[in-house]
Amino acid sequence: MPTKQQSMICVFTLLAMAGVRQDTPWDAATNDWIRIHDIIAFTSEHYGVVYAENSRETFRKQALHPFRTAALIEDNGMATNSPNYRYRLTNEFLDVLKELTDDSVVSELGTALQTFLTNHDTLAAIYASKKRMQKMPVRINKQEFTFSPGKHNELQKAIIEEFAPRFAPNSKCLYVGDTIQKDLFKNTEKLSQLGFEITLHDKMPDVVLYREDKNWIYFIESITSVEPMDPKRIVEIDAMTENVSAGKIYISAFPDFSTFKKFSDQLAWETEVWIADMPDHMIHLNGDKFLGPR
């Protein structure tokens, strides 16, 4: 079990569902259908630990749902808001409990526990697998990485895989963060060669690309909720890159047009906008630089 499912609230849940009081032998465990209210009442009456009735959601999320995923318990299939909704131990896990003795140790696996573990993954393994499935694969400079799930990282993936081939061809990614792993990819050597002076206190743009044939560097912010390329952000990046001689391009990337509209009045002039929903086009806030007949 993961650490969260080793808490006392989880212990009392299993004891209550098994009907095991302080003097009950393990082989007398049962698996009658019970409610969360019954678990709370059992814990108070037989173990002297009182949980408030409004803690039912904590029991549900921390104990019952994970235990159901791990096949320790099952529900009766009724609607969750039904007064007749109940849980009980599975017959397989009831057999595991009945095999316990007061001097049982984990290294001495009983037959029931061996059978249970053969037929079911541990909850820790199930959760680890779910985390891996949720992660988004992304290819950075021909290397495989994974982003944590979330809208911000979905947009960063689009920047690398959709924006870069269209508007920064043959560019190399020098930096990209992750919502959990802040420096997912960082080419410190190349950044230093270009004149970056990065300290722990500097907040890098979400994605930094470098196009060597043009000597252009792209600073791209992935915007789903905060911090577009506004004048303040430009000043911050300029201070971080005052020794960088490459041509600097500042880009605000948005997932869709409606998100762009929310921030449109904050964007700095002389910057660019890319919208993932319309990947073949860009908006240039650059005055007469792009003015001319088509």
Q: Are residues 180 and 286 in the same domain?
A: yes
Q: Which of 131, 162, 193 is the last residue of a domain?
A: 131
Q: Are residues 114 and 151 in the same domain?
A: no
Q: Which of 131, 163, 194 is the last residue of a domain?
A: 131
Please state, rounded to an integer, the average pLDDT across all residues of the chain: 84
Q: Are residues 86 and 187 in the same domain?
A: no
Q: Are residues 62 and 181 in the same domain?
A: no
Question: pLDDT tens, 62-102?
Answer: 999 889 888 888 888 887 778 889 999 999 899 999 988 76
pLDDT at 15 over 90: yes
pLDDT at 110 over 90: no
How sure is the predictor about 145, in pLDDT bands with cuts at 50, 70 and 90? low
CA distance 35 to 79: 13
User: What are the φ and ψ backbone dihedral angles of 144, each rounded to 5 degrees?
Assistant: -90, 130
Q: Looking at residue 201, what is its pLDDT?
A: 41
52 or 202, greater pLDDT? 52
Rounded mean pLDDT of 94-118? 75
Question: pLDDT tens, 176-226?
Answer: 877 655 667 778 888 889 988 765 445 888 899 999 999 999 999 999 867
pLDDT at 294 over 90: no
Look up residue 221 and give its two tokens: 């912010």
Query: H or E stretch including 17?
Result: helix 8-18
Domain count, the chain: 2
pLDDT at 133 over 50: no
Q: Are residues 171 and 286 in the same domain?
A: yes
Residue-number span of the structural domain to which 150 is assigned: 136-290
Question: pLDDT tens, 218-232?
Answer: 999 999 867 789 999
CA nearest neighbour of 219 among 247, 250, 241, 176: 250
Q: Are residues 68 and 206 in the same domain?
A: no
